[in-house]
């Protein structure tokens, strides 16, 4: 059974990687085009306005997690016998949530954007139009959550990957059309993104209604499911609010203290880091249903082993990709953007460091969600992350250095990781000592050795072939350290057997 689950995880990860590679390439290209077409000022304005809409929708993350958890838990415990009722309950909650978000966004949010953000006066009308359209697009994305959650809980990653790739290609078409549109470019860009959101929602609805009997729109109100999911969401919302404030609240602070130019640098760093983190997110997305299903089936020991391996592999994977970027940040940004915004390089480096720490926490978050008992977990962890904005405000008031917000985020990620381990020992009887020995100590040793080796092997003058050589050496040396130091004997044996099987399949296919 474990071998079968591992193969399923690998297959699903592979499908998500195909989707991610396309999204990464298109995303990096479109960021360059949009920055060029909109200009640095409008680019920064869009991201602070759209980021504020996302901040208002902090409940979306809470409901996404809750929906996937309840679907996967029912599949693990009851073979999906309650899926129809759970799906309709989830849909009702999302309709209610979308209406509430739109109401708050168009009242309090509108006042804040129009009066408190630092937006050039001659671009205020365009920024407000972009804000209204962003609210509409976000509302559509809220309604899409139950549909994507059904695919993920059933581990139909292939269909999810195909729909995601279609979404990416539609956004690429929107960006390519942008230079040829006569109307205000900022407003038209967000209008095109709204059209893409509507098309994507329709596609998900058609696919789900075709392949899942549970996806039938009914008004069969189930009070027990509604109260359970809403209660779970209420506590989950606290954690997601803290995370949203951590990410987008600091973006607002940077706008207030330094203006949209610094926002542009922060946005570029977030996009580049997001492209790297997608590699980890895809592995985690493939593992999440298995963690929840194993807990639901009472296989707690197997779940803890999977959580430990996922934490370590998340970190190793991100470290392999991040190391060359950390070494050659400015050179890579110059190639990507030609003229990167101010602070983009240092923002990217600090964001990657925080993401490395967060990558360890992702499987821990899923195991906490699997229990359904998240009151203590979200109270403590959410409370820690919520300190990000006031601490950042205080630091910016005293020292006026924009990089301080990311140093504070990194320190709070470390504190949150420690809190998660302590709480999970109570929720799931997690062997914290084993986690520290097999995961934390191992990743610290690997990161230290790989970092020193790469530091001494880095080229000082890099251009063209020299930069390519430097990036290649960095990846190879990091992988070598991971294999020799980061993996135990059983993991090395499994990886060697998997590689041998893959080579045999390729050789047999080529020879046939």
The string of DSSP codes covering 342-383 is: TTHHHHHHHHHHHHHHHHHHHHHHHHHHHHS--HHHHHHHHH
Give the Cα separation of 74 and 82 in Å (integer).
Answer: 7
pTM of the model: 0.78
DSSP string, 57-101: THHHHHHHHHHHHHHHHHHHHHTTTTHHHHHHHHHHHHHHHHHHH
458 contacts 470 by C-beta, under 8 angstroms: yes
Per-residue pLDDT of the chain (512 residues; tens, 9 = 90+): 445 555 666 666 667 767 777 777 777 787 777 777 787 777 777 777 777 676 665 667 677 778 888 888 888 877 767 788 888 888 888 888 888 888 988 888 888 888 877 777 888 888 888 888 888 988 898 889 888 888 888 878 778 888 888 888 898 888 888 888 777 888 888 889 899 999 999 999 998 888 887 667 776 667 777 888 878 877 777 777 777 777 778 888 898 899 888 988 898 898 888 878 877 887 788 888 889 988 988 888 999 999 999 999 999 989 998 999 999 999 999 888 878 888 999 999 999 999 999 999 999 999 998 998 888 898 898 888 888 889 999 999 999 899 999 999 999 999 999 999 999 999 999 999 999 999 999 999 999 999 999 999 888 776 778 888 999 999 999 999 999 999 988 888 888 887 777 677 666 655 55
- How many other C-beta atoms lie within 10 A of the C-beta of residue 440? 18
Give the Cα separation of 157 and 12 in Å (integer).
Answer: 6
Nearest alpha-carbon partner for 303 in 72, 65, 470, 96: 72
Give the Cα separation of 493 and 132 in Å (integer).
Answer: 55
Residues 6+ apart with CB under 8 A from 138: 53, 54, 56, 57, 60, 101, 105
């Amino acid at each position: 059974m474990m071998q079968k689950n591992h193969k399923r995880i690998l297959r699903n990860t592979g499908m998500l990687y195909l989707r991610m590679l396309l999204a990464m390439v298109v995303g990096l290209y479109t960021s360059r085009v949009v920055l060029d077409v909109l200009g640095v000022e409008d680019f920064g304005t869009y991201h602070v306005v759209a980021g504020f809409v996302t901040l208002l929708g902090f409940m979306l993350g809470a409901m996404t997690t809750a929906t996937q958890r309840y679907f996967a838990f029912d599949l693990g415990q009851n073979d999906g016998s309650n899926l129809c009722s759970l799906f309709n309950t989830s849909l009702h909650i999302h309709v209610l949530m979308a209406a509430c978000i739109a109401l708050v966004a168009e009242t309090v949010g509108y006042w804040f954007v129009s009066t408190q953000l630092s937006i050039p006066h001659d671009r205020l009308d365009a920024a407000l139009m972009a804000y209204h359209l962003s609210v509409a697009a976000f509302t559509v994305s809220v309604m899409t959550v139950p549909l994507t959650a059904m695919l993920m809980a059933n581990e139909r990653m292939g269909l999810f990957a195909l729909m995601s790739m279609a979404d990416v290609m539609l956004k690429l078409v929107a960006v390519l059309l942008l230079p040829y549109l006569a109307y205000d470019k900022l407003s038209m860009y967000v209008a095109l993104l709204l059209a893409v959101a509507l098309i994507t929602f329709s596609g998900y609805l058609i696919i789900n209604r075709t392949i899942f009997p549970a996806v039938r729109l009914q008004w069969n109100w189930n009070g027990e499911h509604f109260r359970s999911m809403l209660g779970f969401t209420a506590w989950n919302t606290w954690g997601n609010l803290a995370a949203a404030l951590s990410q987008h609240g600091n973006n607002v602070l940077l706008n207030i203290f330094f203006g949209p130019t610094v926002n542009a640098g922060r946005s570029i760093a977030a996009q580049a880091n997001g492209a790297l983190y997608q590699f980890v997110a895809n592995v985690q997305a493939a593992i999440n249903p298995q963690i929840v299903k194993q807990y639901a089936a009472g296989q707690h020991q197997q779940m803890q082993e999977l959580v430990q391996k996922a934490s370590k592999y998340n970190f190793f994977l991100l470290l392999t990709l991040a190391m060359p970027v950390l070494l050659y940040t400015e050179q890579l940004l110059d190639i990507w953007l030609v003229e990167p915004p101010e602070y983009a390089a240092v923002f990217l480096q600090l964001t990657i460091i925080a993401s490395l720490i967060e990558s360890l926490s992702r499987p821990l978050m899923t195991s906490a969600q699997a229990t359904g008992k998240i009151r203590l977990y979200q109270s403590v962890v959410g409370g820690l992350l919520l300190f990000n904005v006031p601490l950042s405000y205080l630091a910016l008031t005293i020292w006026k250095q924009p990089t301080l917000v990311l140093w504070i985020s990194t320190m709070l990620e470390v504190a949150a990781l420690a809190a998660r381990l302590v709480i999970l020992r109570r929720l799931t009887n997690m062997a914290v000592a084993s986690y520290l020995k097999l995961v934390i100590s191992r990743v610290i040793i690997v990161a230290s050795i790989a970092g020193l080796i790469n530091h001494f092997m880095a080229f000082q003058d890099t251009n063209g072939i020299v930069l390519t050589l430097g990036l290649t050496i960095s990846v190879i040396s990091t992988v070598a350290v991971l294999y020799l130091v980061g993996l135990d004997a059983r993991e090395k044996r499994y990886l060697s057997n998997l590689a041998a099987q893959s080579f045999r399949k390729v050789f047999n296919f080529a020879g046939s």
